[in-house]
Amino acid sequence: MAAVDAFGVNYTKAFKTIPPSFVQSSEYGGPVKAYRDTYEAATLDYPGSIYMFRPAKGLKWTGRGFLMADALGTGVTLSVGTGITGAGVTAVVDKFLAATVLTSAARTELGPIATIDAVGYEFDGQTDVIVTTGVAAATGTIVLCMELM
């Protein structure tokens, strides 16, 4: 079998198109920003939404981040997603992390294969990142961190 060369979308724009297309720095390198917030749940009922942060317009999710939590209670699940935007777009509560059981203290990486389409998600400056509780009331500390560029 012969070797095959393939090119990414932004590589093609910058180096294969004549004349070259402009590639925004946010799509091809650029500084990475870490958004982080903590919530102390004192018997947070379910289903519940914890609004963690609202990324600036134009930032895109790199696909990296984590959710950490204490032992929140038997059967408690947490998911990470987006809230309703100012433009009235529907919430997607599991955009970055599907509902995950956090019965014991744990650190869970965001972006399992089920959310691959969320990598590169561009924020509009009106969309909140939320953590949603499910199944049972939660008690304990929840920390969310996401890398955006």
Answer whether residue 134 shows pLDDT above 70.
Answer: yes
Pairing of strands 48-53, 92-101: unpaired
Contacts of 135 (CB under 8 A, 6+ apart): 46, 75, 76, 77, 101
Q: Read off the DSSP letter of residue 60.
A: B
Average pLDDT along the chain: 83
pLDDT of 2-12, one tens digit each?
666 666 676 77
Token duo for residue 110 = 């965001």
Tell me which of 58 and 21 has the higher pLDDT: 58
* The dihedral formed by the CA atoms of 112, 114, 116 and 117, expressed in degrees to the nearest 10: -150
Domain ranges within the chain, ordered by starting residue = 31-148
Q: Which numeric CATH code is attached to 31-148?
A: 2.60.120
* Range 119-144 average pLDDT: 88
- Tell me the whole-structure pTM to 2 decimals: 0.79
Tokens found for residue 36: 């982080």
Tell me the pLDDT tens digit for each residue of 49-87: 889 999 999 999 989 999 999 888 888 889 999 988 766
| Least confident span in 8-17, 79-88, 89-98, 104-113 | 8-17
Q: Give the residue-averaged pLDDT of 125-148.
A: 89
Name the DSSP letter for residue 12: I
Q: How confident is the model at residue 37 (pLDDT cuts 50, 70, 90)?
A: very high
pLDDT on residue 90: 85
pLDDT-derived band at 30, boundaries 50, 70, 90: low
- The pLDDT assigned to 133 comes to 87
* DSSP summary character for residue 128: P
